[in-house]
Amino acid sequence: MDKTVPKGAAILLDFIRQTETGRSDRVSYDVIYGHNQDKLPKPITSMTLGDLVDAPASFNKRLKSSASGAAIIDLSKSLD
């Protein structure tokens, strides 16, 4: 876990990671819906917010998920 993440948040994130992926390694933070992370051009944790805002169209086609992106787009708008 990144040392800038508060200890309580790190514990929660580790719990979520273990519950959702069944793994406890660092790479499991890169897991995405349907375990389709290998279909992305780079790991999701190395993408910028801009990359994530631009990616939903390809996510929708390749990963068969129409839900991807809306939360990121809303977050991006609120940061402006």
Q: Buried b / exposed e across 10-37, counting CB within 10 Å, b at 16+?
A: eeeeeeebeeeeeeeeeeebbbbeeeeb
Which is more confident, 73 or 67?
73
pTM listed for this prediction: 0.53
User: Domain extents for the chain?
Assistant: 1-31, 33-80
Q: DSSP letters along 20-51, please?
A: HHS--SGGGGG--GGG-GGGSSS-GGG--HHH
Q: What would the pLDDT profile of 25-57 be if each residue is shown by its tens digit?
A: 888 888 877 777 887 888 888 888 888 777 666
Q: Apex CA 29: angle with CA 21 and CA 15, to 5°?
A: 60
pLDDT computed for residue 60 by the predictor: 62
- For residue 9, what pLDDT is reported? 92
d(CA 59, CA 1): 26
